[in-house]
Amino acid sequence: MGYPDQRFDVNLSILFTELPLLERPAAAAAAGFTAVELWWPWIDTPTPEQGELDALKQALDDAGTRLVGLNFYAGRLPGPDRGAVSVPGEESDRFRANIDVAADFAASVGCTALNALYGNRVEGADTAVQDELALENLVLAARAAHRVGAILLIETLNRPESPLYPLVSAPAAIEIVDRVDAATGLGNARFLLDVYHLAMNGEDVSGVIARYADRTGHVQIADMPGRGAPGTGELPLERLLDELREAGYDGYVGLEYKAADAAASFDWLPVEARAAR
């Protein structure tokens, strides 16, 4: 029972953001963590200079931290954008330009999970056209992930905070997982089970775990309300993580919560539980 039985990583795009990007891996290591994840760090470009990629790899290596999850380019995040794969025009083009860049960087640091945020509905655009575009782009992303030995993650967000994002239930995300796998034949698409987003949508999180744990490639947590650290809200996070483990999930649990002082926000987690085993 309990948090020490999990493998945790820290999302450096939402925690330690008071520090420059290249200082965050060392800060996570100083707090006792050996695994981290990131949203696409360069929101203004899907194709940063190789020197920027090399510098991030060096920062991860120097800190002794492993990158276990990385988003493909997803627009302005945090911000109004919620991905690019289904957004016609320039954003879709930027996503495609990013696919091999992100996959190759993941391979260079041993990252085996790549997350592709679906993208918002666009006013005036045909939703069927957006969904067809999304599938084309996700197929390309799944093939690139397969090329580097990674899985492709499909994430549910929540309607109150992302009203234009169409995947706001676990079944909606699983449907996309199935469509991608059917189109590629690779079987490397997985569900990203974010407990906070599911709870914000009013879903039965325990029921989602029971039904989809075997389809889950990554888990993220934050408490609700407030999206704070475990213990700041009302979610039974320890019990839910026990249910995940009992259902067979043994992957990483990403800490994707907000905290003004990241280093001071880990008191809920024993030091011995922070280093991924």
Question: Rounded distance, CA 34 to CA 150, Å?
Answer: 19
Model confidence over 51-110: pLDDT tens digits?
999 999 999 999 999 999 999 999 998 888 999 999 999 999 999 999 999 999 999 999
Question: Rounded distance, CA 45 to CA 42, Å?
Answer: 6
CB atoms near residue 243 (< 10 Å): 17
Model confidence over 142-201: pLDDT tens digits?
999 999 999 999 999 999 999 999 999 999 999 999 999 999 999 999 999 999 999 999
The domains located in the chain, with CATH, are 3-273 (3.20.20.150)
41 neighbors 35 (Cβ within 8 angstroms): no
Is a pLDDT exceeding 60 seen at residue 1?
no
Contacts of 115 (CB under 8 A, 6+ apart): 69, 70, 71, 72, 152, 153, 155, 192, 218
192 neighbors 249 (Cβ within 8 angstroms): no
Model confidence over 18-64: pLDDT tens digits?
999 999 999 999 999 999 999 999 999 999 999 999 999 999 999 99
Q: What's the 3-state SS for 20-84?
A: CHHHHHHHHHHCCCCEEEECCCCCCCCCCCHHHHHHHHHHHHHHCCEEEEEECCCCCCCCCCCEC
168 neighbors 159 (Cβ within 8 angstroms): yes
Residue tagged 């676990």 (tokens): 170
Round the average pLDDT of the chain to a whole number and report it: 96
Q: Tell me, what DSSP letter sits at residue 198?
A: H
| Backbone region of residue 141 per phi and psi (left: phi > 0; alpha: psi in -120 to 50; beta: other values) | alpha
Is a pLDDT exceeding 80 seen at residue 2?
no
pLDDT for 187 equals 98
- Rounded to the nearest 10°, the torsion over CA 174, 175, 181, 183 is -160
What pTM did the predictor assign? Answer: 0.96
Question: Rounded distance, CA 26 to CA 19, Å?
Answer: 10
Catalytic residue, candidates 90, 155, 161, 175: 155
Q: Let me know if 155 is a catalytic residue.
A: yes
pLDDT band at 4 (very low <50, low <70, confident <90, very high): low
Question: Rounded distance, CA 274 to CA 29, Å?
Answer: 9
Amino acid identity at 5: D
Tokens of 71: 């988003």
**Please, which residues bridge with residue 220 across strands?**
194, 254
144 neighbors 106 (Cβ within 8 angstroms): no
Question: Rounded distance, CA 105 to CA 57, Å?
Answer: 8
pLDDT for 247 equals 97
41 neighbors 72 (Cβ within 8 angstroms): no
Q: Let me know if 256 is a catalytic residue.
A: yes
193 neighbors 169 (Cβ within 8 angstroms): no
Higher-pLDDT residue of 4, 258: 258
**Please, which residues bridge with residue 218 across strands?**
192
CB atoms near residue 22 (< 10 Å): 16
Is a pLDDT exceeding 90 seen at residue 272?
no
pLDDT for 60 equals 98
pLDDT for 273 equals 87
pLDDT for 277 equals 64
pLDDT band at 5 (very low <50, low <70, confident <90, very high): confident
